[in-house]
Amino acid sequence: MKKMVILLSFLLSVQLSGQRVFPPPNCDFQYHDINNIKFAVGNIGSNDAGYVGVGGIPYTLIYPKSSNNTFLAWSGFWLAAVVGGDTLASISAAYDAQGSPGGSIHEFYPDFRASDVVYRMSMFEKQDPDIDPNLVTSFFNNDGTLSEEYYPISHDDLICQYYDNKVLKNLPEAPETMKLHTPMNAHVIQRSFAWDNEWYSNIIFMDYFVINEHDSAWKDVHFGVYADPHCGDFSKGVTISDDISYWDELGRLLVQGDHVGTGGDDLPGGALTGWKILGVSKPGVPNPIEGLNTRFWSWVDGPNDPHFNEDYYFQISKNEIDRTYGPDNTGSMRGLYANGPIPELASGDTLRFTAALVGGLGIEKLRENMKAAQNLYSAGFSVPRSPNPPQFEVEAINNGVKIDWSWKDYYEGYNPVESVDNSRNDGIINDFDGFKVYRSEKGKYGPWNLIAQYDSTNGYGYDTGLKFSHTDRGLKNGLMYYYTVTAIDIRDDSSGIGPLESPKSFMVKNTMPGPKPEESGDNEVFVVPNPYRADVDYSASPAWEYPTQELRDDWYEIDRRIAFMNLPADCRVQIFTINGILVNKFEHHRDEKGHNIASWNLLNTNNHAVGSGIYYFVVEGLKADKNFKQVGKCVIVK
pLDDT tens digits, 337-393: 999 999 999 999 999 999 999 999 999 999 999 999 999 999 999 888 899 999 999
Q: Is the pLDDT of residue 56 over 50?
A: no
Query: In angstroms, rounded to a whole number, what is the distance separating the alpha carbons of residues 581 and 603?
Result: 14
Query: In angstroms, rounded to a whole number, what is the distance separating the alpha carbons of residues 498 and 492?
Result: 6
For residue 137, the model assigns a pLDDT of 67
The residue that leads in pLDDT, 469 or 592, is 469
Burial class (CB in 10 A: 0-12, 13-18, 19+), 320: exposed
For residue 11, the model assigns a pLDDT of 37
Instruction: Spell out a b/e string for 234-260, using b for 16 or more CB atoms within 10 Å of the CB, else e.
Output: beeebbbebbbbbbbeebebbbbbbbe
For residue 443, the model assigns a pLDDT of 82
Query: In angstroms, rounded to a whole number, what is the distance separating the alpha carbons of residues 478 and 86?
Result: 66
Domain edges within the chain: 2-378, 393-511, 517-637
For residue 92, the model assigns a pLDDT of 95
The three-state secondary structure class of 575 is: strand
Query: In angstroms, rounded to a whole number, what is the distance separating the alpha carbons of residues 62 and 51?
Result: 17
Query: In angstroms, rounded to a whole number, what is the distance separating the alpha carbons of residues 357 and 369?
Result: 10
For residue 552, the model assigns a pLDDT of 67
Domain 393-511 and domain 517-637, same fold? Reply is: yes
- 390, 416 contact by CB (below 8 A): yes
Tens of pLDDT, residue by residue over 451-487, are 999 999 998 888 899 999 999 999 999 999 999 999 9
Burial class (CB in 10 A: 0-12, 13-18, 19+), 116: buried
Q: What is the pTM of this model?
A: 0.86
The residue that leads in pLDDT, 505 or 202, is 202
Q: Which of 200-209, 360-369, 501-510 bottoms out in mean pLDDT, i.e. has the lowest?
A: 501-510
Tens of pLDDT, residue by residue over 120-148, are 989 998 765 455 545 556 777 766 677 88
Mean pLDDT of 432-456: 93
CATH of 517-637, one of 3.30.360.10, 3.30.470.10, 2.40.30.10, 2.60.40.4070: 2.60.40.4070
Q: What percentage of the chain carries pLDDT values higher than 90?
A: 63
Give the model's confidence band at 593: pLDDT under 50 very low, under 70 low, under 90 confident, else very high: low
Q: Is the pLDDT of residue 502 over 70?
A: yes
Question: Which residues are bridge partners to 337 per DSSP?
Answer: 225, 296
Q: Is the pLDDT of residue 176 over 90?
A: no
| Average pLDDT of the chain, as a whole number | 88
The residue that leads in pLDDT, 76 or 3, is 76
Q: Which of 94-98, 287-291, 438-442, 582-586 bottoms out in mean pLDDT, i.e. has the lowest?
A: 94-98
Mean pLDDT of 620-624: 93
Burial class (CB in 10 A: 0-12, 13-18, 19+), 112: middle
The residue that leads in pLDDT, 176 or 60, is 60
Question: How many CB atoms are closer than 10 A to CB 453?
Answer: 17
For residue 304, the model assigns a pLDDT of 86
> DSSP secondary structure string, 394-413?
EEEETTEEEEE----TT--S
3-state secondary structure 462-480: CCCCCCCEEEEECCCCCCC
Question: How many CB atoms are closer than 10 A to CB 634?
Answer: 20
Query: In angstroms, rounded to a whole number, what is the distance separating the alpha carbons of residues 135 and 115?
Result: 6
Question: How many CB atoms are closer than 10 A to CB 412?
Answer: 11
**Which of 383, 382, 397 shows the shortest CA–CA distance to 597?**
397
For residue 395, the model assigns a pLDDT of 92
Give the model's confidence band at 584: pLDDT under 50 very low, under 70 low, under 90 confident, else very high: very high
Give the model's confidence band at 9: pLDDT under 50 very low, under 70 low, under 90 confident, else very high: very low
Query: In angstroms, rounded to a whole number, what is the distance separating the alpha carbons of residues 154 and 131?
Result: 21
Query: In angstroms, rounded to a whole number, what is the distance separating the alpha carbons of residues 254 and 454?
Result: 44
The three-state secondary structure class of 13 is: helix
**Which of 620, 525, 529 shows the shortest CA–CA distance to 570?**
620
For residue 49, the model assigns a pLDDT of 61
Of the ranges 175-184, 216-225, 328-337, 454-463, the best mean pLDDT one: 216-225
Instruction: Spell out a b/e string for 165-194, using b for 16 or more CB atoms within 10 Å of the CB, else e.
Output: bbbeeebeebbebbebbbbbbbbbbbbbbb
Q: Which secondary structure element, helix H or strand E, spans residue 12, and what is its range?
A: helix 2-13
Q: What percentage of the chain carries pLDDT values higher than 70?
A: 91
Q: Which secondary structure element, helix H or strand E, spans residue 432, and what is its range?
A: strand 432-440
Give the model's confidence band at 287: pLDDT under 50 very low, under 70 low, under 90 confident, else very high: confident
CA distances from 506 to 35, 90, 125, 284, 510 (A): 9, 35, 11, 31, 14
For residue 83, the model assigns a pLDDT of 96
Give the model's confidence band at 26: pLDDT under 50 very low, under 70 low, under 90 confident, else very high: confident
- 51, 27 contact by CB (below 8 A): yes
Q: Is the pLDDT of residue 291 over 70?
A: yes
Question: Which residues are bridge partners to 299 per DSSP?
Answer: 334
Phi then psi dihedrals of residue 131, to 5 deg: -95, 135
Q: Is the pLDDT of residue 160 over 80?
A: yes
**Which of 48, 46, 37 shows the shortest CA–CA distance to 162?**
46
CA distances from 405 to 441, 481, 523 (A): 20, 17, 33
Is 2-378 in CATH node 3.40.309.10?
no
At the topology level, CATH places domain 393-511 in Immunoglobulin-like (2.60.40)
Mean pLDDT of 318-323: 95
For residue 534, the model assigns a pLDDT of 92
Q: Is the pLDDT of residue 405 over 70?
A: yes
| Paired sense of beta strands 570-577 and 613-621, if any | antiparallel
Of all residues in the chain, what percent are helix, strand and coil, respectively (each to 5)? 10, 40, 50
Query: In angstroms, rounded to a whole number, what is the distance separating the alpha carbons of residues 392 and 416?
Result: 12
Tens of pLDDT, residue by residue over 100-126, are 777 888 999 998 888 888 999 899 987
